[in-house]
Amino acid sequence: MSTTYVFALIVFLFLLVVAAGFYLANELARSGRLANRIEFVRSGGEVQQVEAPKPDGAMLLRFLSAFGMLIARSGLLSGKTLAEMTATLEAAGFRGGRGLGLFIGAKILLGVLVPLVVFVLLRNVGTSLLWEVVKVGGGCMVGLLLPETIATNIRNRHLTQVEAGVADALDMLVICADAGLALEAGLARVAQELDGLNPALAKELTQTSRELQIGSDMRQAMDSLGQRTGLSPLKRLATTLTQSLQYGTPLTAALRSLSAELRQEALVLFEERAGRLPTLMTIPMIIFILPCVFLIVAGPAIINVLAMLHAKK
């Protein structure tokens, strides 16, 4: 009886999420139609292009996004949690908070679907109430943590790629400064050159260049670059550029000094990793190499001893 109650509860929650998604999607479609009518009136009655109907997959994504934005705006999640989710999604490629609703909706949907799948697949494994709670609770945890784990891995790869190209970007920025380009134009040129070599860093520099071009304060734009990525080299770059423009120190000299420091730190890091290799190789050597050496060295002697013992018998 308890199993039936748990299964019915899971189905009810799933249907509730789907119903809420359909309701929110209808509200969004209604708001979209009203916005199109208003735009039609403002444009003087010009003919609008009719959009092609979206596939079912896009409708499902809209459902999830609408439901997730409802949860985000309801106050159930703290501002710090939403800020961390937004930063993670921006590093994963979702700029401007476009993926926040989809991210939250996917977590909730997987938090409902994964326990249902686990419950159905493992229905014959452990029939007690404790096992049912473990299966449902474990599936719920996996469903809630899976999107965050994927987004975090994408963010870590993105930040690793960004950090690896900062020194080269600084050298190119020095060349642009020596050629007479302003900081905004230099950042745009460096981003253009790095687009094929380091797309992650190119995107970050392009966004910073656009913020400077639309009239944003230079200090605010550079601080935003450092805070958005959370990388120490970019924070130091922001501080260096701000101090250089504030106190009138030569920009090229400051960039060369920072580039040399970053390359030296990278070299020290590589040397540190190389110094740990003997320690890391100790266990594989003991497990895989030393037994082979013992067999080669002591194998013939052991065979001769066994042969002599066999001959005496």
Span 103-120, pLDDT tens digits: 777 788 787 788 777 777
Return the pLDDT at 153.
84
Return the pLDDT at 98.
57
Token pair in block for residue 258 = 């920072």
Return the pLDDT at 1.
45
Q: What is the pLDDT of residues 42-67, one digit of tens each?
A: 665 544 444 444 444 566 667 767 77
Q: What is the mean pLDDT of residues 260-288?
A: 85
What are the phi and psi torsion angles at 57 (to 5°)? -60, -40
Q: What percent of the chain has pLDDT over 90?
A: 0
Average pLDDT, the chain: 76
